[in-house]
Amino acid sequence: MATTPGLDLTADAVTLTRQLCDIESVSHNEQEIADAVEIALRALPHLAVGRRGNTVVARTDLGRPSRVVIAGHLDTVPVNANFPTRLDEGLGILWGLGTCDMKGGDAVILRLAATVTAPVHDLTFVLYECEEIDSKYNGLRLLSESDPHLLEADFAVLMEPSNAVVEAGCQGTLRVDVRTRGERAHSARSWRGVNAIHGASDVLHRLNAFEARKPVIDGLEYHEGLNAVGISGGVAGNVIPDECVVTVNYRFAPDRSEEEALAFVTAFFDPYDVTLTDTAPGALPGLDRPAAKAFIDAVGGEVNPKFGWTDVARFTALGVPAVNFGPGDPMLAHKQDEHVPVEQIQRCEDQLRAWLTSGAEKGSGE
């Protein structure tokens, strides 16, 4: 029986990132890495550690007047000839699956959990499963339903890759199936039927003509996207298909609700059948919240909009102000050449440690 590789929380954050990345943890396969994280955290006497599925939660209980959640997901997208990691010491770059999205951030979380024993806030560290797939499996969502008290806080930091600067809010996301209908016929007598796959050309034409909306919210410009991400149809090699399904992903700015986003997509593809298959809300930047302003000031003052969806939206729904802040370029997430500058891992750790151990409580509970 194989043993779970150990994690050395006394190692530097770059070494710890490699240890995490070299445990394969594609979505639904997080048990090994969750075991390693749980074992490492249970060895720390200042933390109370619990587990729900393959989601691990560690908390301090120091009686501080405010609490901060720091969270990151343990899963990755599928391996793409980019596992295990390799370190280019000359360039200062760590390559490999999960280095950017988001085990560099997870390593920072674990380092903070191990070394920040007298923070100015009480701390909750959450390392969770199944972020990269349908939201029904998302460990943070499941935790918010089973144990919402574990996510109660005055502020939250989600360590999604953000080039080590704050990314505020996030766009919402939904997927729909757009169906075109036809009539079956023998392909030798195709004129006796109606080809539903050919009919999908109009759906694709509309997508090609889509002009992205770019609303400005709290001084940040968001950029929407509407794209086909899959297509299926056909019943046999000699049959004209009577149905074709184009799967479409809409990334909508956070000034639109899920209901408004679905209404837009339904109208956009009228008169075709549109079936919703997955949805998650966006999150407004919330830069007017004192907690967010205090954190942004503490880590350099730079802030960008978040174009992708992240679990910041879940914290927002719980009434907890939250930001994205982690090492790695989000443009490299899910790419074969995924990598992270080691300097960003180290800088995120240093800045968060300074914030958690200095006078950063100003604003985090106002």
Q: What is the pLDDT along the chain (366 residues), one digit of tens a residue?
A: 345 678 999 999 999 999 999 999 999 999 999 999 999 999 999 999 999 999 999 999 999 999 999 999 999 999 999 999 999 999 999 999 999 999 999 999 999 999 999 999 999 999 999 999 988 899 999 999 999 999 999 999 999 999 999 999 899 999 999 999 999 999 999 999 999 999 999 999 999 999 999 999 988 999 999 999 999 999 999 999 999 999 999 999 999 999 999 999 999 999 999 999 999 899 988 887 787 888 888 898 889 998 888 899 999 889 898 999 999 999 999 999 999 999 999 999 999 999 999 854 444 443
pLDDT of residue 362: 42
Exposure class string for 160-176: b at 16+ Cβ within 10 A, else e: bbbbbbbbbbbbbbbbb
DSSP 267: H
Do 118 and 222 have their domain in common?
A: no
Do 148 and 290 have their domain in common?
A: yes
Last residue of a domain, one of 253, 280, 307: 280
The CATH number for 83's domain is 3.40.630.10
Is there a domain that residue 217 lies in? yes
Do 50 and 140 have their domain in common?
A: yes
pLDDT of residue 287: 83
111 contacts 37 by C-beta, under 8 angstroms = no
What is the sign, positive or negative, of the torsion defined by CA atoms of 110, 111, 112, 113?
positive
Last residue of a domain, one of 280, 304, 336: 280
Q: Quickly count: other Cβ atoms within 10 Å of residue 16's Cβ.
A: 26
pLDDT of residue 361: 40
Do 133 and 223 have their domain in common?
A: no
With a CB cutoff of 8 Å and minimum separation 6, the contacts of 105 are 72, 159, 160, 161, 326, 327, 328, 348
The CATH number for 217's domain is 3.30.70.360
In angstroms, the CA 125 to CA 128 distance is: 10
pLDDT of residue 118: 94
β-bridge mates for residue 59, sequence order: 48, 124
Is there a domain that residue 7 lies in? no
In angstroms, the CA 259 to CA 38 distance is: 39
In angstroms, the CA 160 to CA 10 distance is: 23
Question: Nearest Cα to 221, choosing from 212, 234, 210?
Answer: 212
Is there a domain that residue 119 lies in? yes
With a CB cutoff of 8 Å and minimum separation 6, the contacts of 55 are 34, 126, 127, 128, 129, 139, 140, 142, 143
Question: Nearest Cα to 267, choosing from 206, 209, 323?
Answer: 206
118 contacts 357 by C-beta, under 8 angstroms = yes
Is there a domain that residue 142 lies in? yes
Do 293 and 147 have their domain in common?
A: yes
Is there a domain that residue 1 lies in? no
Residue type, position 190, single letter: S
Q: For residue 140, what are its two tokens?
A: 């943070």
96 contacts 21 by C-beta, under 8 angstroms = yes
> Which of these is catalytic: 131, 154, 311, 349?
131
> Which of these is catalytic: 30, 75, 101, 329?
75
pLDDT of residue 3: 53
Expressed in percent and rounded to 5, the helix, strand and coil fractions of the chain are: 30, 25, 40
In angstroms, the CA 342 to CA 14 distance is: 6
In angstroms, the CA 8 to CA 6 distance is: 6
- Is 273 marked active-site? no
In angstroms, the CA 260 to CA 266 distance is: 10
Residue type, position 40, single letter: A
Do 149 and 288 have their domain in common?
A: yes
In angstroms, the CA 143 to CA 129 distance is: 10
Q: Quickly count: other Cβ atoms within 10 Å of residue 183's Cβ.
A: 12
Is there a domain that residue 334 lies in? yes
pLDDT of residue 334: 92
300 contacts 351 by C-beta, under 8 angstroms = yes
Do 273 and 350 have their domain in common?
A: no
66: containing domain = 13-170+283-357
pLDDT of residue 137: 95
Is there a domain that residue 363 lies in? no
Do 276 and 292 have their domain in common?
A: no
- Is 75 marked active-site? yes
Helix (H) or strand (E) holding 280: strand 273-280
Number of domains in the chain: 2
Is there a domain that residue 146 lies in? yes
pLDDT of residue 366: 38
Beta strands 303-305 and 166-168 are parallel
Q: For residue 130, what are its two tokens?
A: 């199944």
pLDDT of residue 360: 40
Do 181 and 326 have their domain in common?
A: no
Do 199 and 250 have their domain in common?
A: yes
Do 118 and 237 have their domain in common?
A: no
pLDDT of residue 213: 96
Do 340 and 259 have their domain in common?
A: no
pLDDT of residue 301: 87
Question: Nearest Cα to 34, choosing from 57, 11, 18?
Answer: 57
CB half-sphere exposure, 41, CA atoms < 13 A: 28
Last residue of a domain, one of 280, 308, 338: 280
pLDDT of residue 298: 87
231 contacts 247 by C-beta, under 8 angstroms = yes
